[in-house]
Copies of this chain bind each other. A is one copy, B any other.
Amino acid sequence: MRFSQYFLPTLREVPAEAQVVSHQLMLRAGMIHQTCSGIYSWLPLGFRVLSKIEKIIAEEQDRIGCHRVLMPTLQPAKLWQESGRYEDYGKEMLRLKDRHDRDMLYGPTHEEVCTDIARHFIKSYKQLPTILYQISWKFRDEIRPRFGVMRGREFLMKDGYSFNCDRDGAVQAYKKIVLSYLRTFERLGVRAVPVRADSGAIGGDLSHEFHIMAETGESEVFYDQSYDALDLNNASFDDISTLYTAADEKHDPNHCPIPLERVRCARGIEVGHVFYFGQKYSKSMGLSVMGKDGQPFFPEMGSYGIGVSRLVAALIEAHHDKDGILWPEAVAPFQVGIVLIKDNPKIREKAEQLYQKLQDGGIETLYDDRTESAGIKFSDMDLIGLPHQILLGENVNKGVFEWKDRRTGARQELSWDALLEKLG
């Protein structure tokens, strides 16, 4: 992509309305625009990051055999009256009426809609177990939306729903998803800590929250420091769940099961939440399935969420410096940025060639071909945080490319071949 032709409106000043660093940087890097309170439009750079996160989450869900569906944003109130949640849910649920005066709502979550699908199609134990998931926009009418997409009203979420014949199966599904979530976050470039949680409005008896550690996190999390050394690709659920973790209000230094010198205290941002809630919805909504013994039964269910749009902000909170964002490779909007240190026709020609070669090689590249000053181009490139920068000066005529690692600031003069190896 050529910067001059892109829609990438960067800002030099920190916008006054943004209190947290991720919100500031998302506005300054031209990633989002506030359409109204708590409701954002995603500009091209922001949309690219959001899509990459979405794709990785979907791949990891597919890998463990979950099936992707897409449920509607608007739901009939009737389904929530059946489950008994319609009256319970507070003003965060956006209620509305259609032209025929039917009560509807903008879904904050989809337990009811998914259970309705299940009761329509799942008739026999032979169709179980199954896990359905979607990645879709939800709405929670927060009284005071803030922190940009961190606590917006319209937000993108991955939500999944498991259906099993019995409690054992449901717990297995739950454990499988917890492990998958940890691998998912690892792929996104962060380690998340699973913290045992109350199950709240969803109800049920087993629940974990997933927290990303960042100085600016919204709450304190305590956990066994040996968790940081765990190999999540080979860990079992028990390896993880036997390690001590606790949310702020649950941690009591006087009754901590591990030595206090092993406890790490950090600030966390919640990016996922999973629940096992048994037959709460299958019973209330009449999802009844024929068992092996010829007797009908109510399947055991769980639900599993990841805050996708929130993750964009959370990743920035975890990965930034004073100059801007430090995107993990997997979610970077482009892998490589090309900047001219000096601007003359010869160097431009080399830049064009380099840009074409990288494009042809399938390496996502942003070429800053604007006629702005070098200073502005350097600071914009640092701000938007692409992992690799290639700086072109006079040396390029001798076949030397200056490569800069955005994260470490390390620079190296490389030949073309060495450069390609670095970017491969």
Contact = CB atoms under 8 A, between A and B. Distances in A.
Interface of A: 5-7, 9, 30, 33, 35-36, 39-44, 47, 50, 65, 67-76, 78-79, 91-92, 94, 96-99, 102, 104, 106, 113, 116-117, 120-121, 130, 132, 137, 139, 141, 143, 153-154
Given A5-B65, A41-B70, A132-B7, A35 B141 contact: no
SS of A interface (majority): mixed
A44 B62 CA distance: 11
A117 to B, nearest CB: 5
A113 B35 contact: yes
11 contacts: A6-B67, A7-B130, A9-B121, A35-B71, A42-B71, A50-B70, A74-B153, A74-B154, A94-B98, A94-B99, A98-B153
A72 B32 CA distance: 11
Contacts of A50: 70
Contacts of A154: 72-74
Given A74-B39, A99-B141, A120 B69 contact: no
Which residue among A69, A72, A130, A153 has the maximum number of chain B CB atoms within 10 Å of its CB?
A: A72
**Ranked 10 nearest A-B pairs via Cβ:** A96-B96, A9-B121, A36-B76, A42-B70, A44-B67, A41-B71, A7-B67, A39-B72, A91-B99, A99-B141
A38 to B, nearest CB: 9
A413 B363 CA distance: 42
A44 B61 CA distance: 13
A104 B96 CA distance: 11
A152 B234 CA distance: 46
Contacts of A99: 91-92, 94, 141, 143
Contact of A68 (B33, B47, B68, B141): B47
Contacts of A43: 69, 117
Contacts of A42: 69-71
A75 B121 contact: no
A153 B96 CA distance: 15
B68 A44 contact: yes
A285 to B, nearest CB: 13
A78 B47 CA distance: 25
A116 B35 contact: yes
Given A7-B130, A99-B91, A33 B72 contact: no
